[in-house]
Amino acid sequence: MLIGEFVIKRNGKLERYNKFDDIPNSFEHLISFKPDYPPEPHTEEQHNQMSKFDNYLKELMTRASDN
């Protein structure tokens, strides 16, 4: 599960989420995408997890109606 600080605009209001899975399937704008990075040094598993951050961002961008 991806955790961090995620801010969207939905129904004209800013909404903040800490868990990616809690973010609604549709909203107006993606305001902020700040996934939590584990402290260094990173393990191979952590590198694999961080390599997926871009995919999470792209998914959120497809959910936003401003695209």
Residue pLDDT, tens place only, 46-66: 999 999 999 999 999 999 986
Q: Tell me the percentage of the chain whose pLDDT exceeds 90.
A: 94
pLDDT tens profile 21-43: 999 999 999 999 999 999 999 99
The domain total for the chain is: 1
Tokens of 54: 């871009």
pLDDT of 5 strictly over 70 = yes
- Domain with 57, as residue range(s), is 3-63
Please state, in angstroms and rounded to a whole number, the distance separating the CA atoms of residues 9 and 3: 18
**Adjacency order of strands within the sheet including 13-19:** 13-19, 3-10, 29-35
Strand-pairing partners, residue 7, are: 16, 32
Nearest to 9 by CA among 26, 19, 22: 26
**Within 10 Å of residue 30's Cβ, how many Cβ atoms?**
19
